[in-house]
């Protein structure tokens, strides 16, 4: 089941996200995020865009959301997307389901361009984006520093 996020999801979302924060370069965040901080993020994002939860039998398996790409008004029709899955859920179509639902909900909000920023290398995320029609439009070299190494970021774009 895919549904809107609620404040009660904060701990479960943190459990998924903090796995990536503490053990991967998929996110450039370096310290675990608290449930209180996550609830604030929910409120900030959902003031404008959807934040979706993938749930099965009461267990949160993943989530996806859109956020402002930049603050300037001219960017108002562009959103940056993110999807995170519990590490045991990869390869079962969960990311595709979440992203498809998120993209469908963005169209009525007049989002014209959806962007996915991917810390590289990340073959699974690249494959997900390209499967859904995103095209690579940028490659930024060594823009992130985590775990004592430089990390590139690529951007994939989908015009809705």
Q: Which pTM was predicted?
A: 0.94
For residue 11, give the CATH number of its domain. 3.40.630.30
3-state secondary structure of 6: coil
- Residue 45, in any domain of the structure: yes
What average pLDDT does the segment 65-76 reach?
96
What is the secondary structure of 14-65 as a DSSP string? HHHHHHHHHH-SSS---SPPPHHHHHHHHHHHHTTS-EEEEEETTEEEEEEE
- Residue 18, in any domain of the structure: yes
What average pLDDT does the segment 10-28 reach?
97
Q: What is the pLDDT of residues 32-41, one digit of tens each?
A: 999 999 999 9
Alpha carbons 44 and 4: distance in angstroms, whole number: 14
* Structure confidence at residue 92 (pLDDT): 76
- Residue 144, in any domain of the structure: no
Tally of structural domains, the chain: 1
The domain of 78 spans 2-116
- Residue 150, in any domain of the structure: no
pLDDT tier at 87, thresholds 50, 70, 90: confident
* Structure confidence at residue 24 (pLDDT): 96
């Amino acid at each position: 089941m895919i549904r809107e996020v609620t404040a009660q999801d904060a701990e479960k979302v943190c459990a998924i996200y903090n796995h990536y924060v503490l053990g991967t370069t998929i996110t450039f965040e370096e310290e675990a995020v608290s449930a209180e901080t996550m609830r604030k993020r929910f409120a900030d994002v959902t003031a404008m865009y959807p934040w979706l939860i993938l749930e099965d039998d009461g267990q949160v398996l993943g989530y996806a959301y859109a956020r402002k790409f930049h603050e300037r008004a001219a960017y108002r029709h562009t959103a940056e997307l993110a999807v995170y899955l519990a590490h045991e859920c990869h390869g079962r179509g969960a990311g595709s389901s979440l992203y498809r639902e998120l993209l469908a909900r963005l169209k009525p909000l007049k989002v014209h361009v959806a962007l996915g920023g991917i810390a590289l290398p990340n073959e699974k995320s690249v494959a997900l984006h390209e499967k859904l029609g995103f095209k690579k439009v940028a490659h930024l070299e060594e823009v992130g520093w985590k775990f004592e190494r430089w990390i590139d970021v690529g951007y994939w774009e989908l015009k809705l």
